[in-house]
Amino acid sequence: MAQDKQGEIPRIIDAIQSPRDLHALTDDELALVASEIRAQIIDTASHTGGHVASSLGAVETIVALHAELDCPHDRIVYDVGHQAYAHKILTGRLARFDTLRQKDGISGFPTPLESPYDVHPSGHASDALSVALGLAKARDAMGGNENIVTVIGDASISGGMAFEALNEIAQERPRLVIVLNDNGMSIAPNVGGLSQHFRELRASSTYRTRRRSLLNALADKGPAADAALVMMNGMRVAAKNILLPSTSMVFESLGITCLSPVDGHDISALRRVLREALAINGPTIVHVTTRKGAGYEPAERTPELFHGVGPFDKETGEVAKSASSTPTFTEAFGEALLREARADKRVMAITAAMKEGTGLAPFAAEFPRRFTDVGISEEHALGLAAGMAAGGAKPVMAIYSTFLQRAIDQLTIDIALPQSDVVVCIDRAGIVGQDGATHLGAFDLSYTRMIPNLRVIAPSSAAATADALHTALTLGGPFAIRYPKGSCPDEMPEMPSQTWEPGVSELLRTGDDVALLAIGSMVQPALKAADLLAEEGISACVVDLRWAKPLDRAAITAAAETKLVVTIEEGVLAGGVGEGALDILAQERLQVPTLTLGLPDAFVRHGVRGDLLADCGLDAEGIARSVRERLGIISN
Ligand SMILES: Cc1ncc(C[n+]2csc(CCOP(=O)(O)OP(=O)(O)O)c2C)c(N)n1
């Protein structure tokens, strides 16, 4: 290919205005497009971080889809959407791709707020089949003709919501293509019976490819080769029909056509099978086998690390280390859980496909029989925890705040109502940062506080995280413990953990003018805000509330003796700790100026966590500013 003025080889992707441009390209040119996209993803993500392994694995699938479809008339619904970087690059976002996951830049997930090519705000697993079915039903009711395709991973399709959708798809039989992107991995190696089924299907496709090459090699090679061919044909019946089905019995038995597994890195093969699927007038599964991290050795070697990764060295694949010397809240929780589990064999741990992310890997290694990974099945996980508790165990479920939203019903009915001894440890509570709006952990303080019988703690340090877990396991009954993404202000203490008295806060600093009632991640900024205010002659007391439920009535009542009661929480205000404090003040008939600080009534988008918190006025300067302004209004 000709070189441009700077001596660089011009890329095809730079000339692509819309995915329709792919229609004019040959398969070889499309393969080149795929390798250009791959290089771009690696280059950009090495600066921004991101979902590298999943996106690299899906490049050819997405190129082939756009080569066969006419988007945005045709619709592609991505499940989770973390695999869709190629889609972003092909749909007009190449020029802004270097802003991936940055504040005011493009999102790491598809979102209709960003592009007409993005059908729905992906981010939570297992919802794409429902959305695709909805699109198909709307199309059929209104006489449309667009193709509807959904791309879903082998782990996400095992989620309950996907199965609920499949159940209806089997009955409605709409024209719909489901691309099953099967790489054998969730974030970690995939788990569960369905995953075993896919393994057999992949084996069968490998078996058939190898067998075909062997048959070709033996053809016309004389009598010995003929005898081998006869024997192989006999074996084929046994192997293919008994041991190795070529299409999915699970989905076929639901009446959904399943096309045999196809190599998801072979553009020609992908286009052929997609054309076949698009011509079928009914629901069809295209089973695409891919390698997570394909084409980038470090990601292929360590796909779990490169699932969602921070900035890394492009040449070596080495990931940038955190600057903090103290443990993250996740690590503090993981260590605290190990200590509790060593002391009490009834302690069990559950994750829904997030063993590493929730800090449970050390527990899983030390207590494999007491550890369960249910896969992407949050509702089941909480039901399972309720059952374990009923059986005499002390289950601890570790889960991200945003994903616990899936299981509020189980938390309410299966756990809180019968007062089960279940501890739900809510990680990534508050602003999560670069994963953005779909992963925002802004709501758990509100949705846990509303549930009767559930006690809710938000620790502000590593020591407090250990105490909170110890308290929950010692007192029994349903508990939620919520903590943010990021580092603790302290080291993990050596000393034994304390049992806290329910609803008792800790006074950290005395002061007469203002009372700063902070919880969890907001305690440190509140202390710094008190320092800033002191420089201006404003004396602020700081209380670590510790308990979001029950709230410390005495501390809140005492705070009313100052000129201004301020509550500070990393959660939305509706139903939060601040509203709880206002309620107590009202019940006590205390009339005092108040200020409730928290996250806005909005879906906070992506960016660096610290920057976003500052934007929300939840850093030390922001808190001091709000207090100053409020005091100014009061004194005027
Ligand atoms: C409801 C929910 N639970 C957990 C997650 C976290 N998560 C993101 S991707 C992923 C694994 C998805 O695996 P798969 O669908 O096979 O896609 P792959 O990454 O292998 O391409 C998980 C568990 C999520 N996004 N949504």
Tens-place pLDDT, residues 23-68: 999 999 999 999 999 999 999 999 999 999 999 999 999 999 999 9
Question: If you measure from the C-alpha of residue 570 to the centroid of ligand 1, how many angstroms do you get, rounded to a whole number?
Answer: 25
More confidently predicted of 204 and 497: 497
Same domain as 159, residue 18: yes
| CATH code for position 556 | 3.40.50.920
What pLDDT, on the 0 to 100 scale, is given for residue 427?
98
Residues 374 and 84: their CA atoms lie apart, in Å, by: 25
* Residue 439 alpha carbon, nearest atom of ligand 1: 25
Residue 91 inside a domain? The answer is yes
Residues 597 and 549: their CA atoms lie apart, in Å, by: 18
Same domain as 521, residue 459: no
- The residue to mutate among 51, 61, 80, 302, having the most atoms of ligand 1 within 8 angstroms of its beta carbon, is 80
* Residue 80 alpha carbon, nearest atom of ligand 1: 25
156 bridge partner residues: none
Burial state string for 152-172 with b = 16 or more CB within 10 A and e = fewer than 16: bbbbbbbbebbeebbeebeee
Same domain as 273, residue 388: no
Question: If you measure from the C-alpha of residue 119 to the centroid of ligand 1, how many angstroms do you get, rounded to a whole number?
Answer: 18
Question: 173: left (phi > 0), else alpha (psi -120 to 50), else beta?
Answer: left
Question: If you measure from the C-alpha of residue 125 to the centroid of ligand 1, how many angstroms do you get, rounded to a whole number?
Answer: 6
What pLDDT, on the 0 to 100 scale, is given for residue 186?
94
Q: Whose CA is nearest to atom 17 of ligand 1?
A: 153
Tokens standing for 388? 């374990």
Q: Whose CA is nearest to atom 11 of ligand 1?
A: 186
Question: If you measure from the C-alpha of residue 482 to the centroid of ligand 1, how many angstroms do you get, rounded to a whole number?
Answer: 22
| 406 tagged catalytic | yes
Q: What is the dihedral of CA 358, 363, 367, 371, to 10 degrees?
A: -10
Question: 537: left (phi > 0), else alpha (psi -120 to 50), else beta?
Answer: left
Residue 465, φ and ψ in degrees, nearest 5: -65, -45
Residue 319 inside a domain? The answer is no
pLDDT band, very low/low/confident/very high, at 1 (cuts 50, 70, 90): very low
Question: If you measure from the C-alpha of residue 156 to the centroid of ligand 1, how many angstroms do you get, rounded to a whole number?
Answer: 6
Residue 316 inside a domain? The answer is no
Same domain as 467, residue 567: no
Domain count, the chain: 3
| CATH code for position 361 | 3.40.50.970
Same domain as 35, residue 183: yes
Which one of 292, 355, 370, 428 is the catalytic residue? 292
Residue 235: pLDDT over 60: no
Q: Whose CA is nearest to atom 14 of ligand 1?
A: 153
Mean per-residue pLDDT, 552-561: 98
* Residue 182 alpha carbon, nearest atom of ligand 1: 16
Question: If you measure from the C-alpha of residue 124 to the centroid of ligand 1, how many angstroms do you get, rounded to a whole number?
Answer: 8
Residue 500 inside a domain? The answer is no
* Residue 51 alpha carbon, nearest atom of ligand 1: 19
Q: Helix, strand or coil for residue 287?
A: strand
- What share of the chain in percent tops pLDDT 70? 92
Tokens standing for 471? 């308290």
Are 519 and 458 within 8 A, CB to CB? yes
Residue 194: pLDDT over 70: yes
| 292 tagged catalytic | yes
pLDDT band, very low/low/confident/very high, at 2 (cuts 50, 70, 90): very low
Residues 607 and 101: their CA atoms lie apart, in Å, by: 6
Give Dmax (Cα) for the chain: 105
Counting other chains too, the contacts that 34-39 makes at CB distance below 8 Å and 24 or more residues apart are 34/59, 34/60, 34/63, 34/86, 34/267, 35/295, 36/11, 36/12, 37/13, 37/63, 37/85, 37/86, 37/89, 37/90, 38/294, 38/295, 38/296
Mean per-residue pLDDT, 362-376: 98
Residue 498 inside a domain? The answer is no
Tokens standing for 20? 């329709």
Residues ≥6 apart with Cβ < 8 Å to 362: 334, 335, 338
Q: Work out the angle between the directed axes of helices 27-48 and 267-278 (0-180°, nearest 10).
A: 100
Tens-place pLDDT, residues 490-532: 999 998 899 999 999 999 999 999 999 999 999 999 999 999 9
Q: Whose CA is nearest to atom 13 of ligand 1?
A: 186
Mean per-residue pLDDT, 306-333: 95
**423-427 and 479-482 as β-strands: parallel, antiparallel, unpaired?**
parallel
Residue 239: pLDDT over 70: no
* Residue 190 alpha carbon, nearest atom of ligand 1: 16
Mean per-residue pLDDT, 176-200: 93
Range of the domain at 453: 329-482
Residues 278 and 429: their CA atoms lie apart, in Å, by: 42
Which one of 291, 370, 406, 449 is the catalytic residue? 406
Residue 536, φ and ψ in degrees, nearest 5: -100, 10
371 bridge partner residues: 349
What pLDDT, on the 0 to 100 scale, is given for residue 321?
87
Question: If you measure from the C-alpha of residue 403 to the centroid of ligand 1, how many angstroms do you get, rounded to a whole number?
Answer: 11
DSSP one-letter string for 204-245: HHHHHHHHHHHHHHHTTS-HHHHHHHHHHHHHHIIIIIII--
Tokens standing for 209? 């490819």
Picking from 349, 403, 391, 388, the residue whose alpha carbon sits closest to that of residue 371 is: 349
Question: If you measure from the C-alpha of residue 304 to the centroid of ligand 1, how many angstroms do you get, rounded to a whole number?
Answer: 11
Question: If you measure from the C-alpha of residue 308 to the centroid of ligand 1, how many angstroms do you get, rounded to a whole number?
Answer: 10
- The residue to mutate among 181, 186, 306, having the most atoms of ligand 1 within 8 angstroms of its beta carbon, is 186
Question: If you measure from the C-alpha of residue 186 to the centroid of ligand 1, how many angstroms do you get, rounded to a whole number?
Answer: 6
Residues 520 and 594: their CA atoms lie apart, in Å, by: 20
What pLDDT, on the 0 to 100 scale, is given for residue 250?
86
Same domain as 391, residue 257: no
* Residue 152 alpha carbon, nearest atom of ligand 1: 15
pLDDT band, very low/low/confident/very high, at 606 (cuts 50, 70, 90): very high
Of 223-232, 330-339, 561-570, the least confident: 223-232
Question: If you measure from the C-alpha of residue 109 to the centroid of ligand 1, how many angstroms do you get, rounded to a whole number?
Answer: 12
pLDDT band, very low/low/confident/very high, at 213 (cuts 50, 70, 90): low
Residues 190 and 58: their CA atoms lie apart, in Å, by: 17
Picking from 463, 382, 392, 464, the residue whose alpha carbon sits closest to that of residue 424 is: 382
Mean per-residue pLDDT, 88-102: 98
Residue 226 inside a domain? The answer is yes
Same domain as 424, residue 533: no
* Residue 406 alpha carbon, nearest atom of ligand 1: 1
What are the pocket residues of ligand 1 if the criterion is a CB atom closer than 6 Å to any ligand atom?
A: 54, 57, 80, 82-83, 124-125, 153-156, 181, 183, 185-187, 292, 353, 376, 378, 403, 406
Tens-place pLDDT, residues 96-118: 999 999 999 999 999 999 999 99
Q: Helix, strand or coil for residue 286?
A: strand
pLDDT band, very low/low/confident/very high, at 633 (cuts 50, 70, 90): confident
Q: How many other β-carbons are positioned within 10 Å of the β-carbon of residue 416?
A: 21
* Residue 54 alpha carbon, nearest atom of ligand 1: 21
SS (H, E, C) 340-357: HHHHCCCEEEEECCCCCC
What pLDDT, on the 0 to 100 scale, is given for residue 216?
62
Burial class (CB in 10 A: 0-12, 13-18, 19+), 138: exposed
Residues ≥6 apart with Cβ < 8 Å to 486: 328, 329, 521, 609
Same domain as 358, residue 296: no
Residues 16 and 296: their CA atoms lie apart, in Å, by: 24
Residue 240: pLDDT over 50: no
- The residue to mutate among 56, 61, 156, having the most atoms of ligand 1 within 8 angstroms of its beta carbon, is 156
Of 25-39, 246-260, 331-345, 349-363, the least confident: 246-260
What pLDDT, on the 0 to 100 scale, is given for residue 403?
98
Are 291 and 183 within 8 A, CB to CB? yes
Tokens standing for 2? 């000709």
- What share of the chain in percent tops pLDDT 90? 86
Residues 622 and 532: their CA atoms lie apart, in Å, by: 11
Residue 1 inside a domain? The answer is no
Q: Whose CA is nearest to atom 15 of ligand 1?
A: 153
Same domain as 192, residue 156: yes
Sheet strands (E) in 407-518: 423-427, 455-457, 479-482, 506-509, 514-518
DSSP one-letter string for 128-185: HHHHHHHHHHHHHHHT----EEEEEETTGGGSHHHHHHHHHHHHH--SEEEEEEE-SB
Same domain as 513, residue 475: no
Are 449 and 579 within 8 A, CB to CB? no
Tens-place pLDDT, residues 610-621: 999 999 999 999
More confidently predicted of 1 and 74: 74
Residue 449 inside a domain? The answer is yes
Same domain as 517, residue 458: no
| CA distances for 86 relative to 34, 42, 64, 91, 109, angstroms | 8, 11, 11, 9, 11
Which one of 378, 569, 570, 579 is the catalytic residue? 378
Residues 12 and 30: their CA atoms lie apart, in Å, by: 9
Same domain as 252, residue 151: yes
Q: Whose CA is nearest to atom 21 of ligand 1?
A: 54
